[in-house]
Amino acid sequence: MPESRRKFFAENGKRRILIAEDEEINRALLCVALEEQFEVLAAEDGGAAMEAIQANRGSLSLILLDLNMPVMGGMEILRAIKEDPSLRSIPVIVLTADRAAEVDCLALGAVDFILKPYPVPEVILARVNRTVELFEDRQIIGATERDLLTGLYNKEYFYRYVDQFDQHHPDTDMDAIVLDIERFHIINDRFGVAFGDELLRRMGDRLRTSMAERGGLAARLSADTFLVYCPHRTSDIAELEEVMGALDKLLDENNLVRMRMGVYFSADKTIDVRRRFDRAKMAANLVKGSFTRHVGIYDDALREKEWQAEKLVEQFPAAIAGEQFHVFYQPKFNILGDKPVLVSAEALVRWFHPEQGMISPGVFIPLFEENGLVRELDHFVWRTAAKQVKAWKEKFGFSVPVSVNVSRVDLYDPTLRENLDQILEENGLTAGDILLEITESAYTEEPEQIIRTVSDLRESSFSIEMDDFGTGYSSLNMLSDLPIDALKLDMSFIRRAFKEGKDTRMLEIIIDMAGYLKVPVIAEGVETEEQMQTLKELGCDIVQGYYFSKPVPHDEFEPFLEKKKEDQ
């Protein structure tokens, strides 16, 4: 039983203690001295003592243990207690006339001695009370420092203990490791939370045992992510892959989930503890989604990438103030009729760096998502897109809606709807002029909260497009409950469907499913006439991609609006 769950009091309101003493007079003396304040259990030999310890492992506040007893000696009991994780936290006061046994008993975990012949009852009671108080203080501290489910350290205490370890072992070469269970939500969805919790407990047990053997520390960082700090043993990737394979088997015999590991070998102790594990996490992300590699290693290439990322983060305020970010627009066409019809556009941000030129959104957007800067960037895109829709509406006499991205961090902002409403009001627009794109993965992380937020937005008449559909592993069950107005296929679907050997069965399934849900399908990344015609035949509603146009600045988008005006 984890320390944080141990009961301090028996049913009668008293703390429970065990007196293991084979001499009847001594046992009676101790009982008389203690029974007024404690519920006292008594054992006349080592065998009975061990049975009582096992039967009351979750409620004993103290053991008074005679060393010389029949059946099982006190030293043997001490060893058994020390070797059992569920018992070793119970404090033991040794009862003996042998002063020479003190060192051996302390080495086995005893916390105090009462020498025979016994002192007056008041002294015995005072020493017992003090030991129990110290034990309970330790229990309370343990309850705050441990994760209740796995018994591992929580992250704050873990980081603190890593610092302490480094202070006492400055020359020990240490590895920082992040372990993550991919697609763990599938286990909870399919088998229930209780089953998922049991798998996490197994993971915690395995890590705790391993770290006890290697002299390291382990923590549970979040739902299915763990941290390990241990002495460096090897840089052999094959060995680490073998370890990860064993963990996969431990967690899931059905291969529904898999482990990934990020390792920062010989971690630099001059940098902050959290940053060491950030580096390990970067390495873990290298193998995210891979079915052939379990382990990612932090190396010089990642170090250079990290340095470049830090520079971009530092330069973000100047980039916003200096108008280095530009909003481009990619048209979206309805293809169900005789000819494609422009129905909306997607706003896409580009960064024109004064030294590096155009930086790929694939570089800076994930970076800003990690540190929260994406919220300010999103607001910039929303305001810019709204102003542009207003300008086009005044120039051409009609409105073409523009879809904008709503990042995960935005969805946790309690003022999200208020901010969007204010932008619309400032530009004289309605909710129909701005469409909101939310990635599928955002729904799968904390579905209840996200669904509440999205439902609130839809009540304000905003339309919601689920972006990157097919990458977040949402279940069909879950999908039927999501508040969405359109499914947007990730471009990887299009690429896979039209690669050599063309197989559009997955596209057909998704389009049919969307029809069942009564929501249109948007396909992005469409590049050829063949792709467009096939999607049309399958019943896809809207497409966007280089077949019609790459993302372009606002002035280069205007010919599409002029054409639409001519056709009206």
Instruction: Print the domain residue range for 407.
Output: 307-553
Cα–Cα distance for residue pair 51/43, rounded to 1 Å: 9
DSSP 442-457: HHHHSHHHHHHHHHHH
| 312 and 287 in a common domain | no
Last residue of a domain, one of 79, 113, 145: 145
Residue 41 is part of a domain; what is its CATH number?
3.40.50.2300
pLDDT by residue (tens digit) across 469-506? 765 445 455 666 778 899 888 787 787 778 766 778 87
pLDDT by residue (tens digit) across 431-451? 999 999 988 777 666 677 888
Ranges assigned E (strand) in 463-541: 464-469, 486-489, 521-523
Residue 185 is part of a domain; what is its CATH number?
3.30.70.270
For residue 250, is pLDDT > 80? no
135/322: higher pLDDT: 322
Whole-Å CA distances, 282 to 158, 297, 299, 305, 428: 19, 9, 10, 10, 44
Cα–Cα distance for residue pair 505/406, rounded to 1 Å: 30
pTM of the model: 0.61
| 238-252, 294-308, 527-541: the lowest-pLDDT one | 238-252
For residue 107, tell me if it sits in a domain: yes
Of the candidates 221, 190, 191, 188, the one whose C-alpha atom is nearest the C-alpha of residue 204 is 221
The whole-number pLDDT of residue 490 equals: 79
When pLDDT is cut at 50, 70 and 90, the band that residue 192 belongs to is confident
For residue 235, tell me if it sits in a domain: yes
| 207-216, 362-371, 459-468: the lowest-pLDDT one | 207-216
pLDDT by residue (tens digit) across 31-83? 999 988 999 999 999 999 999 999 988 788 899 999 999 999 999 999 999 88
For residue 558, tell me if it sits in a domain: no
Other Cβ atoms less than 10 A from the Cβ of 302: the count is 19
For residue 536, tell me if it sits in a domain: yes
| 515 and 386 in a common domain | yes
122/500: higher pLDDT: 122
The whole-number pLDDT of residue 203 equals: 83
For residue 303, is pLDDT > 90? no
| 377 and 510 in a common domain | yes
| 193-197, 323-327, 455-459, 494-498: the lowest-pLDDT one | 494-498
Q: What is the mean pLDDT of residues 262-290?
A: 89
Count the helices and strands in the chain (H runs, E runs): 22, 20
| 387 and 282 in a common domain | no
Using a CB cutoff of 8 Å and minimum separation of 24, what contacts does 445-452 make? Answer: 445/408, 447/478, 447/482, 449/411, 449/412, 450/411, 451/481, 451/482, 451/483
Q: What is the mean pLDDT of residues 218-227?
A: 89
The whole-number pLDDT of residue 551 equals: 96
Q: What is the mean pLDDT of residues 445-467?
A: 85
| 119-128, 372-381, 494-503: the lowest-pLDDT one | 494-503
The whole-number pLDDT of residue 2 equals: 42
For residue 563, tell me if it sits in a domain: no
| 204-208, 362-366, 474-478: the lowest-pLDDT one | 474-478
For residue 559, tell me if it sits in a domain: no
The whole-number pLDDT of residue 508 equals: 86
- Percent residues over pLDDT 90 in the chain: 44
| 174 and 321 in a common domain | no
| 266 and 167 in a common domain | yes
For residue 91, tell me if it sits in a domain: yes
Residue 531 is part of a domain; what is its CATH number?
3.20.20.450
When pLDDT is cut at 50, 70 and 90, the band that residue 308 belongs to is confident
The whole-number pLDDT of residue 4 equals: 40
Last residue of a domain, one of 250, 269, 298: 298
For residue 416, tell me if it sits in a domain: yes
For residue 254, is pLDDT > 80? no
Q: What is the mean pLDDT of residues 183-200?
A: 79
